[in-house]
């Protein structure tokens, strides 16, 4: 990795509104900021494809993963599950959907960075424990890299810093995304090197 030489690598960022860049200017979202970060840190030919769909669940991701995995893709960042949480879907269902997505990516022999999101406490301790365990379990099953929480760089105590979030308190603002990219960037770099 990268398959076609060090100066060209294509990464599929496959996720929901956090990946898509909901509420942000086009160049301020996760994908453009990550691409710029990678280009500035030793991958001048990095291309990050924005396959983030706002509102998407893991079921939606499972339905669209096959056509998203174009022939040019060298690696995948998989960030899904937040909308499953918002809808209170069963953790087992979320895990089964992510398992299906990972199986399809593995069939293409592509490296993956699985990005989690911890459950809030309002669904109860059992739900939280089950949901929080599914990302590490899948990372171990498929032997993929795990980034435990998309928001970890801006939520040191589990709650995102308000100044780094949009008014909806769900999506990071441009500065929040910049901090997330600075934290996750080295993991993505390691994924493709």
Active site residues: 17, 168, 171
Instruction: Tell me the CB-side half-sphere exposure of residue 100, using CA atoms within 13 A.
Output: 15
Reference 77, options 172, 191, 193, 161; nearest CA is 191
The Cα angle at residue 33 between residues 5 and 15, in degrees rounded to 5:
85
Bridge partners for 15 per DSSP: 52, 79
**Distance between CA atoms of 13 and 115, rounded to whole angstroms?**
10
148 token code pair: 């435990």
Closest CA to 14 of 29, 31, 1: 31
In 41-173, alpha helices (H): 58-68, 82-87, 91-107, 125-142
């Amino acid at each position: 990795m990268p398959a076609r030489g060090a100066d060209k690598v294509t990464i599929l960022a496959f996720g929901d509104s956090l990946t898509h860049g909901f509420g942000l200017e086009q160049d301020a979202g996760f994908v453009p900021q990550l691409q710029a970060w990678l280009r500035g840190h030793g991958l001048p030919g990095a291309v990050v494809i924005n396959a983030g769909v706002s509102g998407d669940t893991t079921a939606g991701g499972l339905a669209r993963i096959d056509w998203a995995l174009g022939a040019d893709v060298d690696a995948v960042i998989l960030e899904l599950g937040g909308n499953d949480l918002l809808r209170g879907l069963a953790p087992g269902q979320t895990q089964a959907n992510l398992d299906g997505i990972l199986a399809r990516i593995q069939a293409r022999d592509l490296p993956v960075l699985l990005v989690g999101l911890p459950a809030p406490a309002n669904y109860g301790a059992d739900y939280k424990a089950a949901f929080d365990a599914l990302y590490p379990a899948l990372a171990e099953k498929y032997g993929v890299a795990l980034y435990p929480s998309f928001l970890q760089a801006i939520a040191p105590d589990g709650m995102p810093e308000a100044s780094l979030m949009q008014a909806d308190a769900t999506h990071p603002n441009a500065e929040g995304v910049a901090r997330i990219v600075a934290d996750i960037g080295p993991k993505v770099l390691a994924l493709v090197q």
